[in-house]
Each structure stands twice: as structure tokens, then as C-alpha cells.
Amino acid sequence: MLLGGMLFLWGSAELLVKGSSELAIGFGIRPMLVGLTIVAMGTSSPELAVSLYAALTATKDISLGNIIGSNIANIGLVVSICAMIKKLHIEKSAFRREIPIMVGGTLLFCLLAWNGVLSFWDGLILLACFFAFMMFTIKQSRGDRNRAKAQEGFVDIRKDTKAVLKNLLYIFVGLVGLILASYLIVNSAKYIANYFGISTFVIGISLVAIGTSLPELAISVVGVVRGEVELAIGNAIGSNIFNTLFVIATVAVVTPIPVDRSLFQLHIPFMVGFTIVMIPMMRTKSMINRVEGLILFLAYAVFIFFIFTNP
């Protein structure tokens, strides 16, 4: 199940990257924005499904651990592996818009969780921030389209109905495939972890988080290999924003989530640290190089070591 799910995941990622990148070019939208929205929400759907299911079945430890672990994995695993494959050149505009939103969302989540519970009202605050982010992103996409239309050689894909439908089909099939593949991977990983008697929170923050982050990893790696670096980095950033401001917020609105104070000693500081370290790394010539990617990967390995030696 685990190996089959991974193969299925890769094929689905190929379809999603192909469809979304071609639509982005045809609509005159930056690939970064496509990664931040359509692709990020699609690849974060396993986190939403797993977290809601876990919370409603009285395993809230998996729900919270999944989100914290996924946000760490998106940077420590996804971004690091992509950077080791190819230098990640980042648009300067991302420093002014998307990255501050990711950092701000993470810090707001920590502030609301400080009192030991994410309540219904905390969830509403996070959701309000998410919808404000979406409105901001839609406004930005309109500006991108106007600039693209003014460029010579721009072909408006809206005039080709078949091309639009074909790419939408690629995206739909890719998303469905990602969700099904993630289901196979997560369930097999949970079975393996339970067999060895690991706690539910450790399962959530490690194996389940890695499993639900595999769509982001597959999409981003395929994007880098295909030359869609902006799509890849936008996917990782957008997934963290979506996880923090929408997924855990939705779960909190449905049912309050207890937050153990011990999480602020190791797990949450790691999440904040991985988020903030992106800023100085990306400011170095507007890119994350292979050495920095290796550093992120090793830091993630240290994190995994700590949570298994200090469960």
C-alpha cells in the first residue's frame, strides 16, 4: 500500500502540475499565485480530511500533530529536497506579500494556542484572516493578468475551450489521485506505527504529517524538474498558509482543540523556527541554494530524532 500509494502520488502530481501551469500561462497569472491557491489547497486537502476525521473520532492529538508536523515538513522536507535538486529562485515580490503572510499566520496560530486550547472563536479569527488572504490574492491575480495581456505574444487560453477543459480535467484527476494516494500512504503508515506502539501525537506529527505532505513534495519536486520553480515554492508557502489559517481553523470551529503546554517546549518552536528561517535564506540573492537546502533537511532530521527520543 505504501509503495503503491507513492507511485500513484507521483503520477497524479505530474497531471496537476501540467494542468495548473498551462492554465496559469494562458490566463496570465503568475505560477507563484497558482501554487499559493489552487495547487496549495488541493495538496492540503489530505491534511484537512485527516485532521477533521481525527478530531471527530476523539483523536485530536493526531489532528493537531498533523498540522504542526505538516508545516514543518513543508519547509524541512519539501523545500529542502527541491533546493537540493535545483536552486530555488524566488520573486522579490514574495518577500513583500506571501512570506510575511505565512510568518504572520504561524505567529497568530501560536498566540491563539498559548492559553491551552484553540476555541470556536479562535477558529473564526483564523478563518477571517484566510478569507482576507484569498481576497488579496484574487486582487493580485487581476494585476498579473493585465500585465500579461500587454506583453507581446500573449495567447489568451479562454478563447480555446478545449484547452481549458483539458487542463481543468488534468487538475481534477490529479487532485483526486493525490487524495486517494494519500489515503493509502497515511493508513499504511498508521498501521506500521501502531504496530510498534508509538503514541498518537508522535504518529500525527511524524508519519501522518509526512504522509499528508507527500502531495506537496510530489507537486513541488515535479514542478522543479519541469522548470516551474515558482509553482513549487508557491505550493509549499501556500500549503502552510492554508494549514494554519484554514485547516486547523475549520477543525477548531467544529470542535475545540486542546493544546498541551509541552508543545511550546519543542514542537511549536521548531515550526516557528522553520518558518522564520526562510526569510534570511531567501534574501540571499533571492534564492535558496543547495547548501541551504541540505541545512534545512538536516534540521528536519534532527527534529524527527528529538520527537522519537522525547515523545
DSSP string, 111-180: HHHTTSEE-HHHHHHHHHHHHHHHHHHHHHHHHHHHHHHTSTT---GGG-HHHHHHHHHHHHHHHHHHHH
For 20-60, the pLDDT digits (tens) are: 767 776 666 666 666 666 667 766 766 777 777 777 766 66
- Mean pLDDT value across the chain: 79
Cα dist. 175→179, 195, 219 in Å?
Answer: 6, 30, 11
pLDDT tens, 59-98? 667 778 878 888 999 899 888 998 898 888 776 665 667 7
Confidence of residue 251 (pLDDT cuts 50, 70, 90): confident
Out of 32-36, 69-73, 265-269, 296-300, least confident range: 32-36
List of residues 6+ apart from 250 with CB closer than 8 A:
48, 52, 123, 127
**Burial class of 254 by CB neighbour count within 10 A (0 to 12, 13 to 18, 19+):** middle
Question: What is the enclosing helix (H) or strand (E) of 214?
Answer: helix 209-225
Find out whether 243 and 69 touch, Cβ atoms under 8 Å: no
Mean local confidence (pLDDT), 233-256: 86
What does the pLDDT read at residue 164? Answer: 80
Please give the Cα distance from 48 to 118 (Å, whole number): 16
**Residue 64 in contact with residue 271, Cβ under 8 Å?**
no
Q: What CATH number does the domain located at 2-309 have?
A: 1.20.1420.30
Distance in angstroms (rounded) separating the CA atoms of residues 100 and 8: 34
Cell of 121: 472563536
**pLDDT above 60: residue 152:** no
- Judged against a pLDDT cut of 70, whether residue 161 lies above it is answered with yes
**Which residue type, as a one-letter code, is found at position 93?**
S
**61-93 core/surface letters (b: 16 or more CB in 10 A; e: else):** bbbbbbbbbbbbbbbbbbbbbbbbebbbebbee
pLDDT of 149 > 60? The answer is no
145 band by pLDDT with thresholds 50, 70 and 90: low
pLDDT in tens, 212-225: 777 778 878 887 88
Q: What is the mean pLDDT of residues 165-171?
A: 85
Q: Comparing 150 with 40, which gets the higher pLDDT? A: 40
The whole-number pLDDT of residue 308 equals: 81
Q: Please answer whether residues 268 and 108 qualify as being in contact, where contact means their C-beta atoms are separated by less than 8 angstroms.
A: no
Mean pLDDT, rounded, for 139-167: 63
pLDDT attached to residue 154: 47
Please determine, for residue 276, whether its predicted confidence score (pLDDT) is greater than 70. Answer: yes
From the list 219, 239, 228, the residue with the least C-alpha distance to 171 is 219
**Share of residues in the chain with pLDDT > 70 (%):** 78
pLDDT at residue 136, rounded to an integer: 80
Q: Residues 138, 142, 145, 150: what is their CA dihedral angle, to the nearest 10 degrees? A: -160
Place of cell 534545512: 296
Please compute the mean of the pLDDT values over residues 284-303 and round it to a whole number: 86
More confident of the two residues 115 and 63: 115
Query: Which residue has 503503491 as its cell numbers?
Result: 4
